[in-house]
Each structure stands twice: as C-alpha cells, then as structure tokens.
Amino acid sequence: MMFKNFKKYFLIFTTLFLLVFVFILVKADWQKTNRIFTFAMLDVGQGDALFIQSPTGTQVLFDGGPPRKISNVLSKVMSPFDKTIDAIIITNPDQDHIGGFIDVLKNYKVGVMFESGTISNSEVYKNLKNEIKNKKIPNILAKKGMRLDLGGNVFIDILFPDRDVSHWATNDGSTVARLTYKNTSIMLTGDAPMEVEKIILEEFSKEELESDILKVGHHGSSGSSSFKFVQMVSPKYSLLSLGKDNRYGHPQKSTLSILSEVGSKILRTDELGTIIMKINGDMIEWKNVR
C-alpha cells in the first residue's frame, strides 16, 4: 500500500515538475521572440560588451569585455535555457573587448564572428582565434558597406573600416557601425579615435550618422568623441562603459563636457551597472540592473 501511494505521489510530482518546466521553456522562448527590440550595455567593468536582440530573437554580442566578467551579466538579459548566440562582433582585439568571448564560446553555440582586421599578439587573442577555428565558426572581416539583417527590421550597417587595417594600431582600426530599428538608431564606435571619426565625417552625411543613442568611444577617453562628431550624431542618450575608479581616468571631463554641450543624457555603467534599453518604434525605455 505504501509503495502504491509513493508511486502515485511520485507520478503527480513528476507531472507537475514537467508542466512547470515546459511553462518556463515556453515563457523563455516567448520572451526571446517578443516584439520589443533590446539593446543593453553590459556592466563588465573596464571594457566593452553590448547585447543586441531583435524582435525576431536574433542575438548579437558587440564585444565581450575582459576575461571572467560577461557570464554573470549575460544572465540579466538572456534566459538560462538559451545557449545560442547568432553572432559576435569584435571591434578591436584588445583584452578588454575580447577576453569574455572565451567564456562565451565555452557556454554558447555561436553562429558567426566578425572582426575589423586589426591584429594582437596577446595570448587571449590567439586563444580566441584558435577556439573559433576549432569550432569551425565562420570568421568574417567587417567592412564599410556591409549590412547585417537581424530580422524584425533591425540592421547593423558597418561604417568603418573602409580599408585594410591589419597593420594599424588596435584602437585605430576599430569597427564602427550604426544599428537601426525602425526610426531608432544607435551609433557603435568601439575605441575609434578622432582620426577615424574624421574619416567617417568625410564619408557620411548627417542623415546617415544622426543617432538617438551613442556608444561613447574608448570609454570616454579624450582621444575620442570630438565635438564635431558628437554634434553630427546628436545623441539623446550617450552610454559609457567603464570600470569604477579605473586607472585610466575615464571618462575624461572634456568628453563629458562635449556630451553635455549637445544636450545628451549620460548613462554610465560604473554608476548604474548594466543598462538595458527596450525600444518599440520611437519609444525608448531604459532601466539599470546591478
């Protein structure tokens, strides 16, 4: 009799568990394919890592931050059951931009990798390239004129490099792109210096550069974000990714002054943690998560 009761309750418990599990999976899948476009600046300390998810569920990581940082913060924007990332994009091969991709490759199935073409001699970069090769992940050079269609009316347009940058300094050859969703646009600058900003200003019109959101170049360094470039972009929001009390003095007061002068609202990971923006048409709603 006891065995029968145990078997009965075990079956009930197992059935309930499976129902709850299925509900969680369905909910996670629904969240991935809801009609809201998500853009997040992940709090990875002194580094860059951006998460992009189109309304159709396509997910892209624009940089991966330094080593051992990204895994914890990805859980703030992705379901724990979701183990695929459609693309990773390297703006430059410095450790503060690519270190976290080693962990990403261990825990997620990655569809494709894009990079600017600048080269690093660091072990982190060599290890990452080896992992990409071993996993047979397509490795594509990002070039001006390339358009990535993420579905749901979301596009990434590569603005730079417009030439071979394999012999350039890592920051100088940074990938610069413009992310658009319907009437909303986001300028992604990597660590691009003012010299690259000048090239972009010469090659694109204000209409092609104007953006609602600016990912501020090089963590707010004084070597990026010239007044002319920021004025041309005219961002409503300026997002800065940096570590608290970092040894580089980022962000520089001169950069913050330029951003304030054009009337842009400044959001910083060292003050707010991860910054998540939900965009639906012309509406931009944001929150911070620590």
User: Which domains, ranges and CATH numbers included, belong to the chain?
Assistant: 33-289 (3.60.15.10)
* Spatial separation of the C-alpha atoms in residues 282 and 279, rounded to whole Å: 7
Question: Is residue 25 very low, low, confident or very high in pLDDT (cuts 50, 70, 90)?
Answer: very low
The sign of the dihedral angle between the CA atoms of 245, 247, 248, 254 is positive
Residue 84 is predicted with a pLDDT of: 97
280's enclosing H/E stretch is strand 274-280
Q: Residue 20: pLDDT above 60?
A: no
Q: Which residue has the higher pLDDT, 137 or 26?
A: 137
Identify the residue whose tokens are 């603005």: 159
* Spatial separation of the C-alpha atoms in residues 104 and 110, rounded to whole Å: 8
Question: pLDDT of 56-78, one tens digit each?
Answer: 999 999 999 999 999 999 999 99
Q: Which amino acid is at 281?
A: G
Q: What is the mean pLDDT of the chain?
A: 91
Question: pLDDT of 74-122, one tens digit each?
Answer: 999 999 999 999 999 999 999 999 999 999 999 999 999 999 999 999 9
Residue 26 is predicted with a pLDDT of: 41
Do residues 278 and 181 make contact, with C-beta atoms less than 8 angstroms apart?
no
Who's near 26: CB < 8 A, 6+ residues apart?
none
